[in-house]
Amino acid sequence: MSLPRHLVAAVAALGLLGLMAVSGAGSASGSTAGQRAASVDISSAQMMAARCGAPANPFRYSFCKPGKLIYKPPSSFCHYFHCIASFWKSTKGYVIQCRDLTFSHSGGRSGSCSSHRGNYRPLYAH
């Protein structure tokens, strides 16, 4: 079963192509790494596990530890993550997920996620 191009790109962005090539998953003699990746069936659950539950995103951000806290997310961050209304107004902290599963840019600050049932977990860059 072949993967759609956008899924292959997402897998490549996650750095899983190297992992698949090393493990021999989907290998065939005479094929390129891209062709091997296209022939591997990767479930959504496997891709979600690679990010430790974080939403799909091109930045390789995840909830997996260890990682670096994100103090300066890219301007397109809220295209991939469900941000609170004041995400870009309060930018004096790191990116954190609130208990209602929205994202705030006030991690580590007093009152972060206070209107969203409190802090849940930080997001990490790798």
Domain boundaries of the chain, sorted by first residue: 5-50, 68-125
CA dihedral over 121, 56, 8, 69, signed as positive or negative? negative
CA 108/CA 17 separation, integer angstroms: 35
* Predicted TM-score (pTM) of this structure: 0.63
Q: Which residue has the higher pLDDT, 125 or 36?
A: 125
Cα–Cα distance for residue pair 55/92, rounded to 1 Å: 23
Residue 45, pLDDT score = 66
